[in-house]
Structure 1
Amino acid sequence: MKAIVQDKYGSPDRLRLEEVDAPVPADQQLLVRVRAASVNARDWHLMRGDPYLARLVLRKVIGFRGPKWRIRGSDFAGRVEAVGRAVTGYRVGDEVFGHVPDVDGAFAEYVCVPGGAVDRMPANLTPEQAAAVPLAGATALAGLRDAGKVHAGQRVLVNGASGGVGTFAVQIAKALGAEVTAVCSTRNVDLVRSLGADHIIDYTRDDFTRDAGRYDVVLDLVANRKLADLRRALTPTGTLVLSGGGVSGARPSLVGPMGITMAAMLRSRFARQRLVPLTDVPLGRQTLVALRELIEAGQVLPVIDRSYPLKEVPEAIRYLQVDHARAKVVITV
């Protein structure tokens, strides 16, 4: 099969299209013919081995000197081609979507995944749209519903509202009954308004940490502000949820967004406000079912910025990494 592989950390130039052996499903796995995949910030972090600190503390996920797994890509949608003997609920021909655990990934023609890591594809989505959902949608759901404990009537601010996770977060916060303020740049105002944001702050003109607004929950997806600034935007007992972010400079950073995460963990012991680093995003079937139900109910719709063929994965990652893509970037296979 054709796949995008990588043997050394570095820029997208390290990625190449190769012919490799197709995977063989174990008893607990499905073999899926990939029809579409999507690009996440996670992909370029793993591609670069960034930040350096992650190579030490996340050894099961990211190798110290080079990638632990050769094939990049996490999210996919496709057709079941074979079913392991211990897997129930699926048969050959089923259309599914899901997230590849920490094994060889989805930028390939075929992928093997545990039966519990997929769900049937939402009936109202194309494969490209479905592939855009898993990691970004699950991160937004975990950040708002689980970590933020958002409920009807609360004021929620999403910093990074036009990105892959942010576009899901605006819609999920609205589905949970919140009054949503979206932070984005001028060119993305119309996009986040179309997603249902009640208020929009253009960060090129205004600073949400210094205006009069105070929020019950702030979901930070950018990690470009100091912890003290983000806390200033909260009510005295509000919740700050920190998820990812970090800049994509020429070289991997030392700590990246892990710096503000560690600071929040230390300060949280002494603060009335809840400071919650989102360190665990459940990506099993239960989460995928919750996302599918929101999508099929018309409350959430994935937004796609651009699509690329499999051979152009390096260009897709470069676009995401450098050009501040709006919403999701997908790969057609």
Structure 2
Amino acid sequence: MRAAVVQRYGAPDVVHVAEVAAPRPRAGEVVVRVHAAAVTAADARIRAARFPRGFAPVARVLFGLRRPRRSILGGTFSGVVESVGPDVTDLAPGDAVCGMTGLRLGTHAELVATPATRVVRTPPQVSHEDAAGVLFGGTTALHFLRDRASVGPGRTVLVNGASGAVGSNAVQLARHFGAEVTGVTSTANVALVRELGADHVVDYTRTPLAQLDERYDVVLDTVGTLDPASGRRLLTPDGVLLLAVADLWQTVTSRGNVRSGSAPERPADWSLLLDLVAAGTLRVVVDRTVPLDDVAAAHARVDSGHKVGNIIVRP
């Protein structure tokens, strides 16, 4: 099969397409023919060995000291079941499914093997591109807003980085939960963030966050430009600061009204997000869709910092 392979850490051009052995399902696994996969900030970090401050030693142990331990990146996928292993009884070849592979990665390829417990059925109303695109940003936004801050009616929410993969989902989910939402983005994306449902939009090129006079019940930073001190300044007395991107020190010292950490990958959350997409409640923002041969260009787009929503690769 063809796959995007990374055999050394480096710039986007270290990613190249090669022929590799096709996976076979083990007991409890399915092999999925990938129709769409997201190229995310997480993929770019692993490829470049560019981890948040303080996390590099641990990350190198997890992902490989001298080169990536998993040469095929990609953590989200949508496609069709190709084959099933022993003990898999609720899925069959031809079923449309999607999911996340965690540390196993491997979705930037024509085929991926994954435990059957880590896939969910894709509703017929949801395209492969939307299914693959909603998972990474959607699960992170859902975890922080719902699980870490209990966002609901009457709350005011500020989303910093409102046009990215996490931020575009956060704006919509916060509105879905009944909150009043302010999105922070650049001039080019002001109209998009309004279309996503933000009640107010701050163009940070004209109004830096340090100049904001408003205070919010929840501040979600999806891009890593706030720290506990600058973020707390934006909070109401009982407000909560959510750091979706944090360095090691910020992560281990987060307490009280500052919360950080990684989002869990839970199939129940994937199904919830897919149902919202199927109902038209949640829009998946796609920056561009590219063939597998253009995966290096997709990484370069992520590295540029100007990606809007998701980049989808079609193996």
TM-score (norm 1): 0.90
Distance 1:120 1:209 in 2: 44
Q: Does 1:314 align with 2:290?
A: no
318-327 or 194-203, which deviates more: 318-327
The residue type paired with residue 280 of structure 2 is G
The structure-2 alpha-carbon separation of the partners of 1:126 and 1:267, relative to structure 1 and needing over 3 Å to count, comes to closer
**Residue pair 1:171, 1:195 contacting (<8 A) in 2 also:** yes
- Structure 1: 5+ residue stretches without partners: 245-256
Distance 2:285 2:144 in 1: 19
The structure-2 alpha-carbon separation of the partners of 1:88 and 1:146, relative to structure 1 and needing over 3 Å to count, comes to farther
- Residues 170-185 of structure 1: pairs in structure 2 closer than 5 A: 170-185=171-186
Alpha-carbon displacement from aligned partner over 1:14-73 (angstroms, at most 9, x marks no partner): 111100000111112110000111111000100011227434224563222211201011
**Residue pair 1:116, 1:284 contacting (<8 A) in 2 also:** no
Structure 1 residue aligned with 2:220: 219
**Residue pair 1:4, 1:108 contacting (<8 A) in 2 also:** yes
The structure-2 alpha-carbon separation of the partners of 1:167 and 1:104, relative to structure 1 and needing over 3 Å to count, comes to closer
Structure 2 residue aligned with 1:79: 80
Structure 1 residue aligned with 2:64: 63
Structure 2 residue aligned with 1:158: 159
Structure 2 residue aligned with 1:8: 8
Structure 1 residue aligned with 2:250: 263
SS in 2 for 1:162: coil
Structure 2 residue aligned with 1:296: 278
- Residues 36-51 of structure 1: pairs in structure 2 closer than 5 A: 36-51=36-51
**Residue pair 1:209, 1:230 contacting (<8 A) in 2 also:** no
Deviation at 1:84, TM superposition (A): 1.9
Distance 1:314 1:39 in 2: 10
**Residue pair 1:118, 1:284 contacting (<8 A) in 2 also:** no
CA RMSD, Structure 1 to Structure 2 (Å): 1.6
**Residue pair 2:80, 2:94 contacting (<8 A) in 1 also:** yes
**Residue pair 1:75, 1:100 contacting (<8 A) in 2 also:** yes
**Residue pair 2:38, 2:310 contacting (<8 A) in 1 also:** yes
The structure-2 alpha-carbon separation of the partners of 1:8 and 1:258, relative to structure 1 and needing over 3 Å to count, comes to same
Distance 1:90 1:282 in 2: 23
Alpha-carbon displacement from aligned partner over 1:188-220 (angstroms, at most 9, x marks no partner): 011011100000000011123432211111110
**Residue pair 1:71, 1:105 contacting (<8 A) in 2 also:** yes
Structure 2 residue aligned with 1:252: none
Alpha-carbon displacement from aligned partner over 1:92-146 (angstroms, at most 9, x marks no partner): 1000111122124111000011112111113322111211111111011111111
The structure-2 alpha-carbon separation of the partners of 1:206 and 1:8, relative to structure 1 and needing over 3 Å to count, comes to same
Deviation at 1:267, TM superposition (A): 5.8
Structure 2 residue aligned with 1:251: none
The residue type paired with residue 329 of structure 1 is I
- Residues 92-241 of structure 1: pairs in structure 2 closer than 5 A: 92-241=93-242
**Residue pair 1:227, 1:264 contacting (<8 A) in 2 also:** no
Deviation at 1:88, TM superposition (A): 3.5
SS in 2 for 1:31: strand
The structure-2 alpha-carbon separation of the partners of 1:223 and 1:123, relative to structure 1 and needing over 3 Å to count, comes to same
Distance 2:272 2:105 in 1: 26
Q: What is the percent sequence identity of the aligned residues? A: 40
SS in 2 for 1:293: helix
Deviation at 1:284, TM superposition (A): 2.6
Distance 1:132 1:29 in 2: 23
**Residue pair 1:55, 1:63 contacting (<8 A) in 2 also:** no
- Structure 2: 5+ residue stretches without partners: none
Distance 1:88 1:216 in 2: 46
TM-score (norm 2): 0.95
Distance 1:93 1:137 in 2: 26
SS in 1 for 2:146: helix
**Residue pair 2:131, 2:274 contacting (<8 A) in 1 also:** no
SS in 2 for 1:313: helix
Distance 1:55 1:211 in 2: 34
The residue type paired with residue 300 of structure 1 is L
Q: Does 1:20 align with 2:2?
A: no
Distance 1:264 1:59 in 2: 18
Aligned residues: 314
57-66 or 122-131, which deviates more: 57-66
**Residue pair 1:122, 1:295 contacting (<8 A) in 2 also:** no
**Residue pair 2:244, 2:262 contacting (<8 A) in 1 also:** no
Distance 2:263 2:197 in 1: 24
